[in-house]
Amino acid sequence: MSLQAEEPLVRRLIEIRRRLHANPELSGEEFETTAAIREWLGQEGIRIADYPLKTGLVAEIGGLREGPIVALRADIDALPIQEETGLPFASRRPGAMHACGHDFHTAALIGAAVLLKRREAELPGTVRLLFQPAEEKAKGAAQVIESGALSGVAAVFGLHNKPDLPVGTIGIRSGPIMAAADGFAVEVDGKGTHAAVPEAGLDPLITAAHMLTALQSIVSRNVSSLDSAVVSVTRLSAGTSWNVIPEKAIFDGTIRTFDEGVRAEVRRRFEQVVDGVAAAFGTTARTRWTGGPPPVVNDPRWAHSAAIAAKRAGLAVVEPKPSPAGEDFALYLKEAPGAFVFLGTNGPREWHHPAFDVDESALPHAAAYLASVALQALAELSGEKSAGSEPDEAHAEAVTRA
Ligand SMILES: [Zn+2]
Ligand SMILES: [Zn+2]
């Protein structure tokens, strides 16, 4: 038997997702979203936990008996993108859109909360629900951790919708599943001069051009063929006129890596190349790092448990390729072990596209998976069932009834 929400609950979750979709709020500004989540949880009698967050909120289910704490996370923020889906419930806010499907994640976690609330008396511990703000700016997870909401958490789980996986499948892998997303900004200081008299100056454009080329050798010459990395310069600006060699050139971009060792080495070589090329041209340069999240690295034990839970929720488990996108869920995994998974939503477009959408028929799967993984983790942690045991009929039946 699959673990699915019944029809009225599915309809309710779709309604919630559409309401969030129509009213997106950008990172750090999720006030109405937070109020709506609070109201929806309140209607289900779910208690809101008291953690100091400006936006986002934490709720809890269970804890009626002494036991472990398992956390489930959904991110709630939208992106500064003008929506072009043409959906009847498209964004009503110009320049803001749920183009990463965080509306879907939020509705899924509310669905899981409803399913778990029904079993509350039987929970051998506590499920803590993290409705996290500001994921798109990679700030919200740090705020949630700062609020103390990860304290005592034995395992943490989350999911991201995945447009290239079909509905009914879930992508689970042990080890890295999403990349470290480091940002850089380099400022090259030269000496301005007349374009016709370059020898009187120090050209920051020529320097920057050599830097851009040399930086592309890091991946090909310093990263093992068995590892991977991306160095992308995405913006370059310098100069104001055709006959002036300017004082400065500025460029920025991002580095993506899946391993902390590779990450450190790429960053070290990056600075070495920038400083070395600047010196070769007599200019000076500064590299400023905008710290993105580290790689999302799944714990093997909990990735295994996630797969058991997913099968119990009626999902087909596949091993996905890691995504080079970043996710601040990585920070939770530094606090407690856990697993982050990709849930198939069969979307027409990739994340962050103005026509991004999810197949809503994946919503009950997402809710069921989250409820199932919390039950599985609590059962394992409280010693009632160990990972890898035969499917527990009582558990499956209990969850089915939920
Ligand atoms: Zn995103
Ligand atoms: Zn996202």
pLDDT tens digit sequence for 311-355: 999 999 999 999 999 999 999 999 999 999 999 999 889 999 999
Residue 3, pLDDT score: 62
Residue with tokens 């929400």: 5
Do 110 and 90 share a structural domain?
A: yes
Do 133 and 48 share a structural domain?
A: yes
Cβ(184)–Cβ(238) below 8 Å: no
Cβ(376)–Cβ(370) below 8 Å: no
- How far apart are the CA of 324 and the centre of ligand 2, in A? 12
Do 222 and 355 share a structural domain?
A: no
Do 112 and 43 share a structural domain?
A: yes
Identify the domain containing residue 137 by its residue range.
Answer: 7-178+295-400
- How far apart are the CA of 174 and the centre of ligand 2, in A? 20
Residue 133, pLDDT score: 98
- How far apart are the CA of 197 and the centre of ligand 1, in A? 47
Cβ(237)–Cβ(249) below 8 Å: yes
Domain boundary among 290, 316, 351: 290
Structural domain count of the chain: 2
Residue with tokens 């956390």: 71
- How far apart are the CA of 100 and the centre of ligand 2, in A? 5
Do 101 and 79 share a structural domain?
A: yes
Do 229 and 119 share a structural domain?
A: no
Do 162 and 44 share a structural domain?
A: yes
Residue with tokens 């856990």: 338
- How far apart are the CA of 91 and the centre of ligand 1, in A? 16
Q: What is the pTM of this model?
A: 0.88
- How far apart are the CA of 28 and the centre of ligand 2, in A? 15
Residue 393, pLDDT score: 46
Do 106 and 19 share a structural domain?
A: yes
Report yes or no on 2 lying in a domain: no
Kindly tell me the burial class for residue 235, based on how many C-beta atoms sit within 10 Å of its own C-beta (0-12, 13-18, 19 or more): exposed
Select from 43, 25, 20, 190 the least CA-distant residue to 90: 20
E strands present in 80-228: 126-132, 153-162, 169-171, 175-189, 193-194
What is the sign of the dihedral through the CA atoms of 281, 188, 260 and 234? Answer: negative
Within a 13 Å sphere around the CA of 78, how many CA atoms are in the beta-carbon half? 31
Length of the chain: 402
- How far apart are the CA of 247 and the centre of ligand 1, in A? 36
Domain boundary among 290, 309, 337: 290
Which secondary-structure segment (H or E) carries 2?
Answer: none
- How far apart are the CA of 20 and the centre of ligand 2, in A? 15
Taking the C-alpha atoms of residue 83 and residue 80, their distance in angstroms, rounded to an integer, is 9
Report yes or no on 253 lying in a domain: yes
Token duo for residue 219: 């991946």
DSSP track, 233-256: EEEEEE-S-TTEE-SEEEEEEEEE
- How far apart are the CA of 136 and the centre of ligand 1, in A? 5
Cβ neighbours, 10 Å, residue 23: 18
Token duo for residue 77: 């923020």
DSSP assigned state of 379: H
Report yes or no on 300 lying in a domain: yes
CATH number of the domain residue 337 falls in? 3.40.630.10
Cβ(24)–Cβ(383) below 8 Å: no
CATH number of the domain residue 195 falls in? 3.30.70.360
Residue 394, pLDDT score: 41
What is the sign of the dihedral through the CA atoms of 22, 27, 31 and 35? Answer: positive
Do 305 and 170 share a structural domain?
A: yes
Cβ(45)–Cβ(139) below 8 Å: no
Report yes or no on 53 lying in a domain: yes
Do 283 and 341 share a structural domain?
A: no
Alpha carbon dihedral 361, 363, 367, 370, in 10-degree steps, equals: 100
Do 303 and 278 share a structural domain?
A: no
Report yes or no on 1 lying in a domain: no
Per run of 10 residues, the mean pLDDT along the chain (length 402 residues) is 76 98 98 98 96 97 93 98 97 98 98 96 96 96 98 98 97 97 97 98 98 97 96 96 98 96 97 98 97 93 98 97 95 98 94 97 98 97 59 42 36
Residue 2, pLDDT score: 41
Residue 68, pLDDT score: 97
Reported as a single tens digit per residue, the pLDDT across 253-300 is 999 999 999 999 999 999 999 999 999 999 999 999 997 899 999 999
- How far apart are the CA of 151 and the centre of ligand 1, in A? 26
- How far apart are the CA of 148 and the centre of ligand 1, in A? 25
Do 284 and 221 share a structural domain?
A: yes
Domain boundary among 290, 308, 337: 290
What distances in angstroms separate CA 349 from CA 45, 87, 187, 239, one per listed residue?
Answer: 37, 14, 35, 37
Which residues lie at CB < 5 A from ion ligand 2? 100
Which secondary-structure segment (H or E) carries 290?
Answer: strand 284-290
